[in-house]
Chain A
């Protein structure tokens, strides 16, 4: 299992559309994806779990990936978060 910490930078935080993007990308991989925020953990392929994490702007999230394609998965997800989920300022 590998993990990496990212900071949510878009103003609306991990809002619905951002979470949707995250789940879409995470679901492309076979690895199990977990997202941790302030001691709580959510399934990275579950949008409800992600939304309930309540990561606003500036939130530090730890992404964990575990599986055969974990490297690729983690890299894609980090990119996505750092690109502010590809849509928001």
Chain B
């Protein structure tokens, strides 16, 4: 089908907030406001009961529609999104609404439409007068419910039935109710442009879950665009163009094609398991910092969260600390939404380059070697205990593991575990629900820890090798320092030797071992790690597909042979050159894409 195009005359450029990523190019469909006029009609005598019954039938039908909508969204986007409709379902079942409407019909002998509209109005007017957007948003759910019931009562189709469009459109609207968004026909509605709202609105949440590009907060877009106008919408950048010229449109088309190709590749790979040719399973997980990133992790096919960095919780609360409830709620949300997969929560790792003055007694001359990670936590035990309580409580709601950063000596691990045990005892004594059996592990990022991994392995449930810091500390270079950054070499024989040592110690002790540094995100290094015996890799979500591609193309035996071969080489450059060559031989399809260091 030929796509529409613009003339470029008087192009209008509007900026809003990108609430659902992707690019849409097409014709506008501007939605008008509710066009069902509601009249007051007097009922003939003796018809009130029948009118009440008609109202009740309409409510029941609306309720069934909403329930189906909820189930559909739940299936397509997940449990949490379905919950958006719970409020509307409860509104429909609200006794007050039924009783007040029924009594108004009987008392004043008026039609159901009018009575219902009047009753709903009593509630919505409270909200419309509020200054606060979040409070005003409460009214939308009620209005949405009313529109649905009125449409059934009047027998008219909904003011805009977005499930029955016959051509591709970008929907432009002053507001869009959550149920409108969920009812969108994804084949036809290719984009959404909304005057109001922001990234927290239900509509934004639904659009992003359904993968429809959307821009909100466009103020007066619905009055500046007319149905049939030619639009370009960028849901990542929050841009809406009305009538862009040919040349500009062509470059947007290119961008869209590239995005679509990437998306397609992702989708194809996402549901494929990360197994080598001979069937060895490699667990690929995501490193994240925000609960919201779970969506990306899922989209890229992560099997759980191998590293959740809890620092953001603290940074956001600075100069104060997050309280137990904040820890608990955040981790619980993570744990619940990650199911059936696990989440590894790393306890606070501030200090070093992430310098937060309020936590430290004084400025440190050399923060990377200073009071950071577990050292800081053991100094500020009160703060540490609060976090541990939050983790243990949240663990009752999913599969949670806990991990300490920057362990350099066994005493630190023992002290930290003792604190965990004390917190556990307190929680059990207070009968606070928690999971007392949360597996406890440590980051291996200090060379001393790697060298004594056999001692540490006896007292942990798992290791996670943090290669970023391990490389920095082992090679004595600061990556941020341009003069020495060239020495940051993940495939340095020293690093490979340290990793091997940790893997061997873990295997002997029977504990899990993973790598969660950037090294895991490089397809070439990932093959080397697999050859060294690491079958769990955690990385930024977008890095998962290319790594998975390589894992699926190799045999474990080849990876091990490659590692053996590199052991005979003496420089990092030679090792890297050989590894690249071998991996490109093993991965015939699109070696360039697969070997790119990071996407």
Contacts and interface: CB of A to CB of B under 8 A. Distances in A.
Interface of A: 9, 11-13, 15-17, 19-21, 23-24, 43, 45-49, 51-52, 54, 56, 82-84, 86-89
26 contacts: A11-B134, A12-B134, A13-B135, A15-B138, A16-B138, A16-B141, A17-B87, A21-B86, A24-B90, A43-B95, A45-B95, A46-B95, A46-B96, A47-B87, A47-B90, A48-B91, A48-B94, A48-B96, A48-B97, A51-B123, A52-B123, A54-B126, A56-B132, A82-B325, A89-B326, A89-B330
Contacts of B97: 48
B84 A17 contact: yes
Contacts of B328: 83
A74 to B, nearest CB: 18
B130 interface: yes
B83 interface: yes
A72 to B, nearest CB: 15
Residue of A15, A16, A20, A83 contacting most chain B CB atoms (<10 Å): A16
A52 B138 CA distance: 9
B326 A51 contact: no
B96 A51 contact: no
B59 to A, nearest CB: 13
A24 B118 CA distance: 26
Residue of A51, A56, A83 contacting most chain B CB atoms (<10 Å): A51
Contacts of A24: 86, 90
Interface string B546-583: 00000000000000000000000000000000000000
B72 to A, nearest CB: 18
B137 interface: yes
Nearest to A53: B126
B329 interface: yes
A89 B134 CA distance: 14
Interface string B311-343: 000000000000001101110110000000000
Contacts of A54: 126-127, 130, 135
Nearest to B96: A46
Q: Chain B contact residues (Cβ within 8 angstroms of A): what range?
A: 20 to 34
Contacts, number: 72
Contact of A52 (B86, B90, B126): B126
B142 interface: yes
A56 B135 contact: yes
B96 A49 contact: yes
Interface of B: 83-84, 86-87, 90-91, 94-97, 123, 126-127, 130, 132, 134-135, 137-138, 141-142, 200, 325-326, 328-330, 332-333
Contacts of A19: 87, 90
A86 B83 CA distance: 12
A37 to B, nearest CB: 12
A41 to B, nearest CB: 13
A17 B83 contact: yes
B218 to A, nearest CB: 23
A87 B94 CA distance: 22
Contact of B87 (A9, A20, A45, A88): A20
Contacts of A43: 95-96
A34 to B, nearest CB: 13
A35 to B, nearest CB: 13
A51 B138 contact: yes
B95 A13 contact: no
Given A15-B135, A48-B91, 10 more contacts: A9-B325, A11-B134, A12-B134, A15-B134, A17-B83, A17-B87, A47-B94, A48-B123, A51-B142, A87-B329
A48 B121 CA distance: 11
A12 B84 CA distance: 14
Given A48-B97, A54-B130, A17 B86 contact: yes
Residue of B87, B90, B200, B333 contacting most chain A CB atoms (<10 Å): B90
Contacts of B329: 83-84, 87-89
A13 B83 CA distance: 17
A12 to B, nearest CB: 5
Contact of A13 (B134, B325, B332): B134
A13 B136 CA distance: 12
B90 A23 contact: yes
A46 B94 contact: yes
Closest 6 CB pairs of A and B: A16-B87, A20-B87, A47-B90, A20-B86, A46-B96, A16-B141
B90 A20 contact: yes
B325 to A, nearest CB: 7
A54 B137 CA distance: 12
Contacts of A15: 134-135, 137-138
Nearest to A21: B86
A84 B326 CA distance: 10
A11 B141 CA distance: 19
A16 B123 CA distance: 13
Contacts of A56: 132, 134-135
A87 B87 CA distance: 14
Nearest to A85: B329
A11 B90 CA distance: 22
Residue of A12, A23, A52, A84 contacting most chain B CB atoms (<10 Å): A52
A52 to B, nearest CB: 5
A67 B147 CA distance: 37
B141 A84 contact: no
A6 to B, nearest CB: 13
A87 B90 contact: no
Nearest to B89: A20
A47 B107 CA distance: 24
Contacts of A86: 332
Nearest to A43: B96
A54 B126 CA distance: 8
A3 B221 CA distance: 49
A88 B126 CA distance: 23
A35 B283 CA distance: 49
Contacts of B127: 51, 54
Contacts of B126: 52, 54
Given A17-B83, A20-B90, A87 B138 contact: no
Contacts of B326: 89
Contacts of B123: 48, 51-52
